[in-house]
């Protein structure tokens, strides 16, 4: 419940900048967001001593849906092994 509240609060405050990134650092963050949430998180973490970046400034509904689709395409190795054994 708290996670959902934080997401809503973060999303309400966020301003999506990837349509027209105003700065080079925003452009780089948008590229990382296209790679996935972990890549974006790592980029923001690395840049925190240089610039304050907010995760949800680089995420919109379309990006979330793309991440969900990427997640569904990745099968855990255990499931891959089980599929091989069942043949």
pLDDT tens for each residue of 1-13: 444 544 554 445 5
Mean pLDDT value across the chain: 81
Query: Is 22 within 8 Å of 57 (Cβ atoms)?
Result: no
Residue pLDDT, tens place only, 12-23: 556 899 999 999
**59 class by beta-carbon count within 10 Å (0-12 exposed, 13-18 middle, 19+ buried):** buried
């Amino acid at each position: 419940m708290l996670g959902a509240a934080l997401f809503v609060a973060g999303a309400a405050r966020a301003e999506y900048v990837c349509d027209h990134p105003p700065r080079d650092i925003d452009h780089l963050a948008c590229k990382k967001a296209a790679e996935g949430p972990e890549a974006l998180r790592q980029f923001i973490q690395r840049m925190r001593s240089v610039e304050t970046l907010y995760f949800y400034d680089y995420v919109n509904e379309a990006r979330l849906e793309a991440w969900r689709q990427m997640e569904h395409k990745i099968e855990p190795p255990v499931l891959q092994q089980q599929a091989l054994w069942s043949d």
